[in-house]
Amino acid sequence: MTPVELLKSLSGPAALSGAPFGADLIAFCAALQKRGGAGVYVARDDKTAATARRVAQFAEPRLEQVDLPSWDTLPYDRVSPTAGVSARRCAALARLSRYDPEQGPILVVTTASSLVQRVPPVSVLRRSSFAVTLGQSVNQKELTEYLAVNGYLRSSTVREHGEFAIRGGIIDIFPPTSPEPYRLDFFGDTLETLRTFDTETQRSTGDAKSVAFAPVSEILFDDDVLARFREKYLAAFGPPSGDPAYEAARASIRRQGVEGWLPLFHDHLETVFDYVGSDPLIGMGHLAGEASAERLSQAEDYHAARLEAGEGDVRQAKVLPPDSLYLTPRELEAGLASRATARFYPSEPSAEAFD
């Protein structure tokens, strides 16, 4: 049985040796094309994931690809992920929330750190979209409110993903799902023209008939979310006592590092497994398992350090437990063991391996 045939028919965990990086991905993509559904390739780090995307594009150019990076911060960091990373993550989650296997196979390239990170519920990303069509009547106030709630930043000139600008009846928006921003020109409430444009020259590059906007932040600031945040904050840390981070969140201001409170803004969190259906094909690249374990250990260490800085008092440190933000090692192993998971090894022999 060839590696492609093995992967195509895989129904549980398996180890494949003699599969160096690149060769493993080529076989994985070929099997996914034949198998259908969602496939998740887990790289050990962002650099390897970037190379994996290029290999997959070369090997199977017709295979739809989704890039799901991890936050470019350390666990319990006091700074937020960069806007570009947040936008890419939300674009990926929004696409997966609407994915149907009938649409054809889809490849998710992610990292070990991203795999172990909890994410907003599928239902939240599925309903957090705003679509407009040429000639449609659009309530501009509702559109701008949507942009503010879903993490877009207002600027004078749009240049980066997740930014928007308003000049009279013209609204420029750079959604996370698009390589170019869009310029919406209204006559009253009617969308009269819809064009893409170049961020450097600000000149139009083409016409469009419709566009769907996705969130650019995993934290949404609507009234229900803020009420939930207040309730969960009080339960976790007690009265705020002038906590500036709390006051900023209550005022819908995204203070640096607020992502560490992600569980407080949602009814519950889910995992990448919840976004890829009941029967995905999962490929754990070389050292991805070790990198996942290292990330979970790192989260425990940084949590302990933050707690110690708060004199051991969680109400003073204001940090949530690691298992509220990350999978536990047991949850991770259970998630992989219950799915068609191939662990790739470049050369090490294994009693379970298929050579």
Instruction: Name beta bridge partners: 204.
Output: 197
Other Cβ atoms within 10 Å of 42 Cβ, number:
30
Q: Answer yes or no: is pLDDT of 121 > 50.
A: yes
What does the pLDDT read at residue 131? 87
Distance CA 117, CA 114 (A): 5
Asked if 193 contacts 168 with a C-beta cutoff of 8 angstroms, the reply is: no
Q: Which position has the token pair 């937020």? A: 80
Each residue of 14-53: pLDDT tens digit? 999 988 999 999 999 999 999 999 999 999 999 999 999 9
What does the pLDDT read at residue 127? 85
Each residue of 177-236: pLDDT tens digit? 789 999 999 999 999 999 999 999 999 999 999 998 989 999 988 889 999 999 999 999
Asked if 280 contacts 339 with a C-beta cutoff of 8 angstroms, the reply is: yes
What does the pLDDT read at residue 350? 47
The one-letter amino acid at 214: A
Each residue of 251-294: pLDDT tens digit? 988 899 999 999 999 999 999 999 998 899 999 999 999 999 99
Residue 111's pLDDT band, with cuts at 50, 70 and 90, is very high
What count of residues does the chain have? Answer: 355
Query: Which has more confidence, 1 or 194?
Result: 194
What does the pLDDT read at residue 348? 61
Global pTM value: 0.88
Q: Answer yes or no: is pLDDT of 352 > 60.
A: no
Distance CA 309, CA 323 (A): 20
> Strand, helix or coil at 109?
strand
Measured between its terminal Cα atoms, the distance across the chain in Å is: 10
What does the pLDDT read at residue 353? 45
- Name the CATH code of domain 3-121+222-344 (choices 3.40.1160.10, 3.40.50.800, 3.40.50.11180, 3.90.850.10): 3.40.50.11180
Q: For the CA atoms of the chain, what is the radius of gyration?
A: 22
What does the pLDDT read at residue 256? 93
Widest CA span of the chain, in angstroms?
70
User: Which own/partner pairs from 317-323 qualify as long-range (CB within 8 Å, at least 24 positions apart)?
Assistant: 318/237, 318/243, 318/245, 319/76, 319/260, 320/236, 320/260, 320/261, 320/263, 320/264, 322/75, 322/296
The one-letter amino acid at 47: K
pLDDT averaged over every residue in the chain: 93
Distances (CA, A) of 126 to 95, 119, 213: 8, 13, 11
The mean pLDDT value for 233-252 works out to 92
The residues spanned by each domain of the chain are 3-121+222-344, 130-213
Q: Answer yes or no: is pLDDT of 355 > 60.
A: no
- CATH architecture designation of domain 130-213: 2-Layer Sandwich (3.30)
What does the pLDDT read at residue 270? 98
The mean pLDDT value for 96-102 works out to 92
Among the residue ranges 79-83, 115-119, 332-336, 348-352, the one predicted with the least confidence is 348-352
